[in-house]
Amino acid sequence: MKCLMRMFAEEDKGVVFFETVISLKRQKHTCIECVPVPWEQFDLLPGYFKVRFRSILETMSTHTIAL
């Protein structure tokens, strides 16, 4: 990962990594994606993710069924 970060830093870009884990017939498979982002947008990402996660949590809390 550090090598990818250095490579894209030379191109004046930051890097965001996404990890997805899928279970297929009792076997877990992991996929890690690397997305290069210009520094101007990279600095805004933490705020974007924070707002998005809050909205997802609010949606989940309103659609859960009380047992």
Q: Which domain holds residue 41?
A: 2-63
Q: How many domains does the chain have?
A: 1
Specify the pLDDT at position 8: 93
Burial annotation 36-67 (CB, 10 A radius, 16+ → b, else e) = beeeeeeeeeeeeeeeeeeeeeeeeeeeeeee
Given a cut of 70, the residues of the chain with pLDDT beneath it are 63-67
